[in-house]
Amino acid sequence: MSLHSKDDPLQCLQQLNQIGIALSRERDIPKLLETILIAAKSLLNADAGTLYLLEKDEQRLRFEVLRNDSLQLYQGGTTGIAVPFNPIPLYDPSGQPNTGMVVTYAVLHDTTVMIDDAYVDQHFDFSGTHRFDQHTGYRSRSFLTVPMKDHEGTIIGVFQLINAFDPETGQVRSFSAADRQLAESLASQAAIALTNQQLIHQLQHLFEALIELINTAVDHKSPYTGAHCQRVPILTMMIAMAAFRSERGRLKAFCPTPEELYELKIAGLLHDCGKITTPVHVVDKSTKLETLFDRIELVDARAEVLKRDLEIAFLKAKLAAIERGDHAAIPQLEQHFRAQLVELEQDREHLHHCNSGGESMQPADQARVRQIATHRWIGPDGQERNFLSEEETENLCITKGTLNPAERTIVEEHVALTLRMLNSLPWPKPLRNVPEYAGSHHERLDGGGYHRGLSEQDLPMQARIICLADVFEALTARDRPYKSGKPLSEVLNILGQMVRDHQIDPDLFDVFVREGVWLDYARQYLQPEQIDKVDLNRIPGYTH
């Protein structure tokens, strides 16, 4: 134990200075609390001590750190062992102040309390201390209890030191007036350091809550993207940690600090914040003809009109044949009528099939749509026109998904808006790359992504990680408006092909597959039927 001499104020001042510097540098609150108590014990040559924090409701003192050198008893702080004592109430059930205990008295009266001998003192209840001593064989004698107050003078906690040692004899002694002054100086420094870190943590929590608020707004705007905003950052961090552990290829050099990982997490959370302005009818477009409603219903109505026109034409022809006595012509008319109905129904079913988006559309299917579009029908105004308008035809011929070029441009604008929104914020230095990482999640290594067309040399590893997470989540998502979630075997095959096409980072895909990140994620977030058998040997672009 480091003992100081009360006759050496300069040494005490230097030690107090060093403690203040150490406290101001500590960022981890449990470690900070432990450091405060250790510093107090060292500065005042105390054998044991306890640090309490006032709970948010300001009704109870919660044990945070307990240390006793003689008993080698260390709990709370960074030990991983929780202090096993219940919080101490400041008021009894009737609402009266609980001033019977030293720590509660010190808080309630905002004063430092010194006790020369707990076994002699008649002012406070030391029954708990006596039970502890009886159980452990310890002898608690002198006590020094000091409230810790923040910059506004509000008590936020208290530390209590037990059994001061005489620096010359090493025997237990009473705490002195000089000890009290030192302890109060330390308490002031400790409270400021603790308050600063608490404020930083509170601001961080507020910041993350605001991000969650944005994602919730997107979620309420469209149920098809809200879960995506939640899942991509989760998958992003799973991939990042796998890459961090990897010793292969370029990932050997990927050694992010905790601060850099947090920066990546925030970028993942905010990667789609620009979608808050994307029109709902575009985000939720589940079929190619959907606007405010699915216009396939209009196509069905036209088909019904055509069906009735065919029936009327058939009945007129049949009546004419009967009137001229040509009964032999009726079976041929009926056969032709039925064939027309079958063809009409087949055309209608084909349009329904094409109206549903998919990964690709065959040229033959597109040609048939254009051929059906040329059928003529008479509208409500009595004018004859094509069965499908030019705009409907082009929408039904969309090759991939459900969005036409104009709508796809609107959706892609969310990336530009994300970057613009995030660049407008005054990011602190540890988070300065968030806009770049978040705003690059649709870029590709071959330069074919959007909206800036960045290429491989422009994409940092963090942006590539979000790219992979975004694509995997989109392919497996079961809540998209135009498709159900794909099975893992198909998703990994698509991603592998993207690696071959130089769109996705091959090193990341390698660790993603080899470390089983895809399977860990799937077990938590995908439906059982999506988790099918995967033959890793058949995945394109994957090197074992």
Does residue 234 register a pLDDT over 60? yes
- pLDDT value at residue 109: 95
Residues 405-415, mean pLDDT to the nearest whole number:
78
- 537: which 2 tokens? 């040997």
pLDDT band at 498 (very low <50, low <70, confident <90, very high): very high
- Tell me which residue of 360, 355, 321, 365 sits closest to 494, measured CA to CA: 360
- pLDDT value at residue 529: 92
CA atoms of 525 and 227, how far apart (whole Å) = 10
Residues 310-328, mean pLDDT to the nearest whole number:
89
3-state SS assignment for residue 362: coil
Using the 3D structure, point to which of 200, 233, 257 is the last residue of a domain: 200
182 in the same domain as 41: yes
Backbone angles phi, psi at 310, to 5 degrees: -65, -40
Q: Domain of 192: which CATH number?
A: 3.30.450.40
Q: Is residue 100 part of a domain?
A: yes
DSSP-H helix ranges across 356-433: 363-373, 390-396, 405-423
Number of neighbouring beta carbons within 10 Å of residue 444: 22
Above pLDDT 90, what percent of the chain?
A: 52
Structural domain total, the chain: 3
- Tell me which residue of 273, 268, 260 sits closest to 467, measured CA to CA: 268
Q: Say if residue 416 is exposed, middle or buried (CB neighbours under 10 Å; 0-12, 13-18, 19+).
A: middle
Cβ proximity of 171 and 165 under 8 Å: yes
180 in the same domain as 150: yes
453 in the same domain as 382: no
- 131: which 2 tokens? 């039970």
CA atoms of 24 and 361, how far apart (whole Å) = 63
Q: Is residue 425 part of a domain?
A: yes
Q: Is residue 286 part of a domain?
A: no
Q: Bridge-partner residues for 386, per DSSP?
A: 376
- pLDDT value at residue 3: 42
Dihedral angle sign, alpha carbons of residues 146, 150, 154, 155: negative
Q: Is residue 214 part of a domain?
A: no
80 in the same domain as 22: yes
Query: What's the whole-model pTM score?
Result: 0.69
125 in the same domain as 30: yes
Q: Is residue 216 part of a domain?
A: no
Q: Domain of 445: which CATH number?
A: 1.10.3210.10
489 in the same domain as 416: yes
3-state SS assignment for residue 89: strand
Q: Say if residue 29 is exposed, middle or buried (CB neighbours under 10 Å; 0-12, 13-18, 19+).
A: middle
Cβ proximity of 507 and 249 under 8 Å: yes
For the stretch 117-129, what's the b/e string if a residue is b when 16 or more beta carbons lie within 10 angstroms of its beta carbon? ebeeeeebebeeb
Structural domain boundaries, residue 103: 9-200
Residues 322-348, mean pLDDT to the nearest whole number:
90
468 in the same domain as 437: yes
Q: Is residue 388 part of a domain?
A: yes
CA dihedral 27, 30, 35, 41 (to 10 degrees): 160
186 in the same domain as 93: yes
71 in the same domain as 44: yes
146 in the same domain as 15: yes
Q: What is the CB-side half-sphere exposure of residue 100 using CA atoms within 13 A?
A: 11
Q: What integer best gives the mean pLDDT of the chain? A: 87
- pLDDT value at residue 290: 67
Residue whose pair of structure tokens reads 């406070």 in the numeric block: 124
pLDDT band at 2 (very low <50, low <70, confident <90, very high): very low
Cβ proximity of 24 and 37 under 8 Å: no
Q: Is residue 217 part of a domain?
A: no
Above pLDDT 70, what percent of the chain?
A: 90
Cβ proximity of 298 and 445 under 8 Å: no
CA atoms of 19 and 267, how far apart (whole Å) = 36
pLDDT band at 150 (very low <50, low <70, confident <90, very high): confident
317 in the same domain as 261: no
Using the 3D structure, point to which of 402, 430, 448 is the last residue of a domain: 402
Higher pLDDT, 47 or 40: 47
Strands 113-115 and 384-386: unpaired
Does residue 200 register a pLDDT over 90? no
CA dihedral 526, 527, 533, 538 (to 10 degrees): -40
CA atoms of 337 and 307, how far apart (whole Å) = 10
CA atoms of 172 and 136, how far apart (whole Å) = 18
Number of neighbouring beta carbons within 10 Å of residue 294: 16
Q: Bridge-partner residues for 165, per DSSP?
A: 172
Residue pLDDT, tens place only, 42-87:
888 999 999 999 998 889 999 999 999 999 999 999 999 999 999 9
pLDDT band at 13 (very low <50, low <70, confident <90, very high): low
Q: Is residue 290 part of a domain?
A: no
Residues 245-265, mean pLDDT to the nearest whole number:
93
Using the 3D structure, point to which of 402, 426, 451 is the last residue of a domain: 402
255 in the same domain as 179: no
- pLDDT value at residue 1: 39
Strands 60-68 and 46-54: antiparallel
CA 189 to chain centre: 35
CA atoms of 59 and 19, how far apart (whole Å) = 30
Higher pLDDT, 484 or 251: 251
pLDDT band at 411 (very low <50, low <70, confident <90, very high): confident
